[in-house]
Structure formats: structure tokens, C-alpha cells
Structure 1
């Protein structure tokens, strides 16, 4: 790690006063300058969620320094604390997270889907230069709004599960992994499920000719085109499925990632896996729940049951708010940018079409309009910089060392409970495995037990979207971290191992929901294992070993 900005050679300086902490879980690689222009949406969303839930935090700031994403918590003005304390009491008394879930289901989610579909119905290649500039701006505005929306629903996604974790670990003396196992099955979207996916599987099951086409050795893009033009239920189901997932990013939140239709080979192999079906695996959550409940003191069991019910109710919004918000919007923005990139590369203004993603929208418009903007060589240099580095190259902290947050003991009961719920959830999201003194002598690489079971298979090291085409069914995904977008490719995986992230990271959630072994937060899996190496992933013990 270094305190030097690798892109410019200058020292990385904090973007403002106070402590700034690196986020390698959501951003394991440098982000584009375009993505940095949406940071205001992040602050706006976090400010709203903190006020809604009565947290003693004004907002969370997000700044990009040298391509790396850093966050900072801003405490609320002391004059606001009485109102925040009152609000926390109201939240728990009336279970106000349910109001947000209702808003999500009835207003935000359907409106977002409609807006996504309206924008992705536009063909960037059919637009004039002026129309394309306008379209790029509209896509950027939509993406920023969706990033705000993602953050605005964060409390709905984490308060209930954080509250359950804090109480259940205390009452039943069980591990957080055991607690989270009881919520498995409550978030179908995290396993890639949707009505469109179910319709596609059913249609393929009743059409042997379509299945033969799907299994053919034809070019994957041609296979998808042929399936969409059969003129029957399969073609309608394929079109509906691709309309839902086609413009969604497969990993990450930035337009440097790839959306699904850019990777027809991965899509075809995933649809094949869906069509083949799979046996239900993973621990039975009801059995886990019964065991845990028996360990809870009788005077707390009714409250425990209520906490479990609320956590299960809210689980699906954890990933839905990303899948149906900024992950889809970012893919649409990338699609628009690539349309501009192809146009500019054809005239020699860019060396490669994809280099356009390293321009801001303002710069894209300047280039398209012939009004300046960065040179082709500068954009190529920005792309090369991102490709050559990861968050491991960045200092984990800028500014003074972080100090632990003040204990919530001095707060009134509801406010203290809220702080503990948020704090527990955040530690389970960002916290990686803390190795013991003797771990260096172990043959096994240790991490957090995200999802139970044991699996042996070949390692597939994935450092970015360019590696997705190499994923084969039955592979062990070894990567820095994943986002909820990765759920499209889940049917191909036998297990998941990550460098970063805790038990509430997206990698852990998707492994748990899909019922495959998962070990997360190992810190060094991508540097310790090589591609193709056979690995034994023990999700129960949180260990990964090589198999000769």
C-alpha cells in the first residue's frame, strides 16, 4: 500500500478534514471519473436515511481520491439530537421500516423499472450528435437519481437485520453466521430469481427444439437472437428476461463494468444452467431457527420471534434496491457511452470505443461536439491506470487514524438500540476476517463463514468483467468482492471466496441465498490462489484449502 496517487505520482491527500476510510468492499478497483461525478447523490441519500431512522449521523460522505473511493461519517449537529432521539423511538414503536418497504414496492421500484425501460428503448446509434449529447445527460441524471435512491433505502435494508443480530447473539450465544442462516430464502432476488426467469425456465422445459438450440455450439449472440425470434412462448420469455437483465451490470456499480448483453456467452451458459435445474442445497433455515430459538431465554422468545419476522420481511430490499436502482441505471449509462465511443473511435477521435467510459459526461459532450475535451491518449491512459491497480494499492485511511464510535450506553433506549442495529450491520458489511497469531502457519486460508457446506472445484480468479467469460459451471469464484449484480451468474458457481467483505456483504448474501458454500473477507485469496487450482471450500469452518 502507498500514500502516493499512482495516476499522478503525487501524494494522496485527504479530500477534507477528518478521517476518510477506503471502501474496498463495494469498490475493489479504481472507479472512473464519470462515477466520481455522482458522489453528491450518495450524500443526499445517506442524509435522508440517517434522519428517517433517527441516527446521530448527519450524512455519509463519499469522495474519490486517485480513483479510490473513501467514506466519512459526519456527526449530526448536537442541536438536532433531541429530534433524532424522538425519531428513533417512533421508528421502533411503529416499525417504520415497513413504510419504506411499502413505498419501495408500490412507488419507487415500479417507477424505476419503467424509467429504465424507457431509456434502454432508445438506440444510441440512431441519434444525431446533438440528440446523443442530450441522451447521455439524461442517462447520467437518471443514474445519479438511482444512486440516491439506493442509499435512501439503506435503513430499510439493514436496521431489522442489525437489530436481530445484536439481540440474538446476546441472547442465544450463537455466531452471527448462524443468525444470518435463519434468513436464507427471504431474498429471492439475491439468487437471481424473478418472474421473468421462472417464465423462461418453464418455457424451455416445454420446447425441446429451443433447448437444442440453447445447447448448440453456435455463436452465443446468434443463439440469443434465434431464441428471441422463434415466434412462440420461448421467444417471448427470452425477450422478457433479457429486457429485465440485459442492461444490468454483471458486477460493480461503475460504468467501467459490463452489462449482461455485452457478454452473450455468459448469458447463454447461465440460461442453460437455469434450464437444467439444480437440487436444493444449503442448510435448512427453519432447522437453524428452531435450534437457535431453543437457546434464547424464555422471557425473550416472543421478542426474538418478532425480530426474526421483521428481518425476513425486509431481507429482499437489501439487494433489490441496488438491482432495480443504480446497477440497472449504470448499465444503461454505459450503453449510451459506448454508443458515443463507437462513433468517436470510427473517426479516430478515440483509440478504442470503451475508452469513453473514462470521460465525464461533460467531457463526452465536449468531444462529440468538437469543443475540446481530453485527448484520445489521455483517455487511454486513464483506462490503463484503472486496469493496472486495485484497492490494495491505496492507503486504507486518509487523515488521522479512525477512532471507535462513542458507546451508545449514554443514549436513551430506542436511540441506543438504533445505533447498535446500524453499527452491527455496518460491521457485518465491511468487516473482514481477523487472523489469529498462528494462522500464518496453517495450510488453510481462513475467512468468515458466510454460507455453509463443502465444495471442491477449480478456482476461477475474476479481477473484473473481462474475466467473466472464463467462468464455467462448477467453478469456485475467487475475487476481491462482488455486488448484488453478480446474481445473474450464480447458477454457474459452486462456491464463492472473496478478499473483502463481511457476513452482510453482497458476496455473503448471494452465496447464502443460492445455497452454495461461501468464505468471505479472507484478505488474500486472490493473491494466494492461482486460476485453475483445485480448491476445497468449507463454508462451515470458514476455510479454503488446495486439493492435489
Structure 2
């Protein structure tokens, strides 16, 4: 029985009132029980926070998992709060609230989160008693939940300035959003995997002949990374610092079923080699800015400069809030859960250590305390279901059609501006192309300019990252912020889901590689190993052979 046939036997009933829509951009695969339990309340808290903080005419977003598939519903703002929200929206837009939140992120939230991540990952789960490990699992879950909320709290600040820029400059110039978003390149270094630790790593390894010999060796990748850590001097210290920064981050997705960087030493080592070998290429964004500015009517150029400055200032927050919040916290929770899984598998209580991720937190703790449920067979069945069910096998919507958005012309000017900016940004995040395909030509959204021919590497999940060879064209459903460690290996990106502000599009622009996103059918119409041409300016992918 195929996964589609199995899914056809499942009931996909609306989980509550309202119109629910799938989110295949962030959650293309079925979720674990742990994630389906942990994510919704934390997500709801964060979205309600940014909506009220900015005075938006929505109460937030709620997510629900139906047979493991993620669905989201938009809640209206409480009617009694609308007058206060109008006032708050005026204050947020005129006072550039996003700048205040960026300071909060840089000075408080980000450093405190990193410190907590490091504190939790310094604990060895294997050194704890069963009771201590249950307590550690709970601390990791509580931290993970808080980081999901934090990620969502900063959503409006991450997207409103960009949406405001797209809305105004699009009106003035009629230029497509893809061309305007090209002016953001270089504003989000984290999207290209950049960090102070990576810069130190590159400099140290380039100057150390022993490190270069290790990088060039064909030894086991895990052994090579360990040997690099053990090097004397700057090289060993730089490797340790970098692996402590990225090693426990997920490499894709948000759920604890996804592997961390240290679990895939081959892919991590190849990415380090590519970073060390890379040449620094200057990109003349200023020239493109000048070209666009010349097309803006003279009376709007000063405002153009201001809008572009605000958008570029906040652009990095789009990915940073995930990388330094829940992506790292999720990896730490996974590490703790696998510690419990190894212990239970060794005792014959579960079939494989990995199956523990399909338990809820309470079930994990109960199993450590000696409970017989869930059984090893039950956890194995949950894992098998999750491995064979994706968002493509489920209905795209549940419930009635969504109500029409509020008429901007009837809103106060600043409220209308805020809602339009938000709509522009979210449309650019989730919207896929609707253009028709031809037999050997797929049309998507022009995410990152350039033309590249290479081998298509069809990847359905992190387990297949080891097949990526430098220069491949990644063909996948979508990517998340977690994926940026591996992107230096790629020559181009093609996705099924996501728009011009999806993570796939952002990283393609930051790396300067051609990208076409939102093709809808790339993973079903492009064979693994096919020769393809990616035209990132035209938004087209041609299957050559």
C-alpha cells in the first residue's frame, strides 16, 4: 500500500472551527507525537504576542496536527480590542517598533538563549541516573517550548519592514518582488551559515598544515572531526568552538526526528572543507540598489532609502530567530531523548534508540521509570507511519473557505499600511508559483538570479544529505533555517513549496546561487541524477537529460 493509499483511509476532519490550511513550507513531513504536543501551545503564545504588540487585526495563529500533518488557522482579533489595536499599529509603524525589538533580540534574547543552549548541551545524558535523565528531558522540553514562542514573538519585526519595502517600491517602479528582494543580499549573513566562529575556523585551518592534511584525508568523517578538535593551538580551539556552536543544531526542519549536524559528520565535514576552500567574492549590491533607485520617482527617493535601510537592518532576524532559538533547542532535546532511547534499547524496552522520538515527553519519562506503555511495537509503528506520510498525502485545507481579508480602504492609514506589509511578506513566504509547466520545463518563482547546469539531487529528508556532492542542484520540497550549514555544497536550489521569502529563496540569494522555488511539482517531475538547467532570473528549470 502506498502512503497516498494509506492516507486515503485516514480521516482528516477539521480540528476546530475556522479554515485550516497546510504549512508544507515548514512542515512537509508528518510530525512526531512529541512535536505535535509541544509545538501548538508555544506557537500560539508567540503569534498572539506579535499580533497584539504590533496592533494587527488578527488574534494570532493556531496550529494543529491531524494525523501528524500540520494545519494552521488564523484567528481574528478580539472585537473589543480593535480600537486599542488601531492605536498600537499607529505607534508601531511611526515609531519603528522593529528597531526596539531588534535591540531586545541582540542585547537580551539572543545572548541569553545561546547561554542556556550551551548550559544544557554541556550535560552528558549518559552520565545521569534514570530519574535525573527524566528531569533533564523535562528541562530540555521546557526550554524548547520557550524557544518556539521566542521564535514566533519576533515574526512581525522580521517581516514587516521587508513587506513595507516591497509594497511601496513595487507601487513606484512596477518591478517584481524577486528583483527587489535581490537588494537584500548580504543583509543576512546567518542565512549563508556565517558566524564569528566559522570565520575563526576558516582562518585557523588555512594556516595549519596538520589541519589541511586531515581535511584532505579519506578517513572516517567522525574520526577526522575528532582529530581536528584535538589539534593543538588555534586550529583545535577554533574547531571545538565551531562544533559547539553548530553541532547540536538540526540540519533540517524543526522536529526532534531530524538529525543534528554532529549526527551527520560526513555532510558537516564536507561543508567545512567547502568553506575553507571558498574564495571571497565581492557582490556589488550597491550597483543594483542604484539601478532600482533610478526608477523610483524623485519625490519618493528619500523614502526609498529609508525603507530599504529598515528592510536590510531587520532582514537577518528572519533566520536568526530560528537558528538561535528553537532549531538549536530542538537539537538539544533530540540529544537528550536519544540518550534515553539508547538506554531503553539496551534494556530491550524499545526496538531502536531512534524510536524514542515518537513518544511524548510524559511517555519518555514513564518509560525511564519502568512503565510498560507505550510498547516497543507501538513506538515502532508510530515511527513507520511518520516515515511514510507527508503533507502531499493529505488535503491542503480543512474546514470552510477562509473569510475575505479586511478592506484596507476602510482602515486607518497606518493600520492599512501595516496589514498590507504583513500580507506582502507572508505571501512572499508561503506563495508558490501558479504558472503552467511544459514537458521538460518547470516554472516556479525567480528566487535568485543566475543560470547553472548540474546534476539534480532529489532529497526528501536529512537522511539523504550524504548523497549531495559539491555542485549538485538540490531538488526538495522545502528547506528551513537549519539547512544553511550544508548549502555551500550546492550549485542551485529547486523547491516544490515556498515563496520569495522562504528560507530556500533567502539562502540562494545569500550564497549567490541560482534558485527557483514554489514549482509545486519539482520533486515529482525531476528524476534524481537528471541533468538540469536552473534559470534563477526566469524562474525556470529545464530537464536536459
- Tell me whether 1:183 sits opposite 2:184 in the alignment: yes
Q: CA–CA distance in 2 between the matches of 1:348 and 1:461? A: 36
In the alignment, is the contact (CA less than 8 A) between 1:483 and 1:506 conserved in 2?
yes
What is the CA deviation profile of residues 452-478 of structure 1, one whole-angstrom value per residue up to 9, with x for unaligned ones?
A: 101111111111110011111111111
Equivalent residues in 2 for 1:536-547 (5 A)?
A: 536-547=533-544
Secondary structure of the residue aligned to 2:157 is: helix
Is residue 280–residue 515 contact of structure 1 (8 Å, CA) maintained in 2?
no
Partners of 2:518 and 2:141 in 1: how far apart? 33
SS at match of 1:57: coil
Q: Determine the C-alpha separation between the residues in 2 that align with 1:238 and 1:395.
A: 45
Deviation, structure 1 residue 531 = 1.3
Q: 2-side partners of 1:49 and 1:95: how far apart?
A: 14
Q: Is the 8 A contact 2:89 2:418 kept in 1?
A: yes
Q: State the partner residue of 1:62.
A: 63
Residue 182 of structure 1 aligns to a residue whose secondary structure is: helix
The 1:43–1:5 alpha-carbon spacing in structure 2 relative to 1, beyond 3 Å, is farther
Counterpart of 1:477 (choices 474, 477, 480) is 474
- Cα distance between partner residues in 2 of 1:115 and 1:196: 18
Q: What is the rounded CA distance, in whole Å, between the counterparts of 1:428 and 1:273 in structure 2?
A: 30
**Cα distance in 2, alignment partners of residues 233 and 4 from structure 1:** 53
Equivalent positions of 1:347-496 (< 5 A) are 347-435=347-435, 439-441=436-438, 443-496=440-493
Instruction: Give the whole-Å Cα distance in 1 for the aligned partners of 2:464 and 2:99.
Output: 39
Bigger mean CA deviation after superposition, 226-235 or 190-199 = 226-235
1:96 aligns with 2:93: no
Deviation at 1:344, TM superposition (A): 0.7
Q: In structure 2, how many angstroms separate the alpha carbons of the residues matched to 1:440 and 1:228?
A: 49
Structure 2: how far apart are the matches of 1:4 and 1:514? 36
Structure 1 residue aligned with 2:112: 111
1:92-141 alpha-carbon deviations (Å, 9 max, x no partner): 21111000000000000000000000000011111100001001111000
Cα distance between partner residues in 1 of 2:331 and 2:394 = 26
Equivalent-residue separation in structure 1 for 2:280 and 2:441 (angstroms): 28
Match of 1:313 in 2: 313
User: Counterparts of 2:204 and 2:340 in 1: how far apart (Å)?
Assistant: 37
Q: Is the 8 A contact 1:3 1:12 kept in 2?
A: no
Distance 1:452 1:339 in 2: 44
The structure-2 alpha-carbon separation of the partners of 1:115 and 1:518, relative to structure 1 and needing over 3 Å to count, comes to same
- Counterparts of 2:92 and 2:402, CA distance in 1: 29
**Rounded Cα–Cα distance in structure 1 between residues aligned with 2:169 and 2:30:** 37
Return the offset for 1:8: 10
Asked if 1:284 is matched to 2:284, the reply is yes
Q: TM-score, normalised by structure 1?
A: 0.97
Distance in 2 (CA, whole Å) between partners of 1:284 and 1:69 is 40
Residue of structure 2 equivalent to 1:75:
76
Structure 1 residues 465-510: Cα deviation after superposition (integer angstroms, max 9, x where no partner):
1001111111111100000110000111111100000000001001
Q: Render the CA deviation track for 1:378-403: whole Å, top value 9, x for unaligned.
A: 11111111111211001011001234
Aligned to 1:210: 211
SS of equivalent residue, structure 2 residue 499: coil
Residue correspondences, number: 543
SS of the aligned residue for 2:175 comes to coil
> What is the aligned-residue RMSD (CA, Å)?
1.5
Are the aligned partners of 1:21 and 1:72 in contact in 2 as well (CA < 8 Å)? yes
Please state whether the residue corresponding to 2:116 is helix, strand or coil: helix
Q: Would you say the 8 A contact 1:3–1:394 is kept in 2?
A: no
In the alignment, what sits opposite 2:87?
A: 86
Q: Which runs of 5+ in 1 are unaligned?
A: none
**Displacement of 1:441 after TM fit?**
3.5
Report SS of the residue matched to 1:69: strand
Matched residue of 2:532: which SS? strand
Shift of 1:370: 1.1
What is the distance in 1 between the residues matched to 2:307 and 2:193?
26
Partners of 1:360 and 1:313 in 2: how far apart? 39
> 1:5 Cα deviation (Å)?
10
Distance in 1 separating the partners of 2:385 and 2:529: 27
Q: Which residue of 2 aligns with 1:251?
A: 252
3-state SS of the aligned residue for 1:36? helix
| Separation in structure 2 between the aligned mates of residue 131 and residue 99 of structure 1, nearest angstrom | 40
What residue number does 1:298 align with? 298
**What's 1:345 paired with?**
345
Paired residue secondary structure (2:457): strand
3-state SS, counterpart of residue 419 of structure 1: helix
Q: For residues 288-343 of structure 1, what are the alpha-carbon distances to aligned partners after superposition, in whole Å with 9 as ceiling and x for unaligned?
A: 21111111111111111100000000011110000000000000000001111111
SS for the counterpart of 1:378 is helix
User: Any residues of structure 2 matched to 1:46-57 within 5 Å, and which?
Assistant: 46-57=47-58
Structure 2: distance between partners of 1:447 and 1:150: 28
Distance 2:503 2:209 in 1: 36
Structure 1 Cα separation of the partners of residues 122 and 381 of structure 2: 32
Change (3 A) 1:458 1:278: farther
SS in 2 for 1:503: coil
Runs (5+) with no aligned partner, structure 2: none
Which SS does the other structure have where 2:59 is aligned?
A: strand
Quick check: 2:440–2:544 contact (8 Å CA) kept in 1? Answer: no
Deviates more, 1:144-153 or 1:57-66: 57-66
| Structure-1 residue corresponding to 2:263 | 262
Distance of 1:486 and 1:75 partners within structure 2: 33
When the two structures are superposed, what TM-score results if normalisation uses the length of structure 2?
0.98
- Worse overlay, 301-310 or 442-451: 442-451
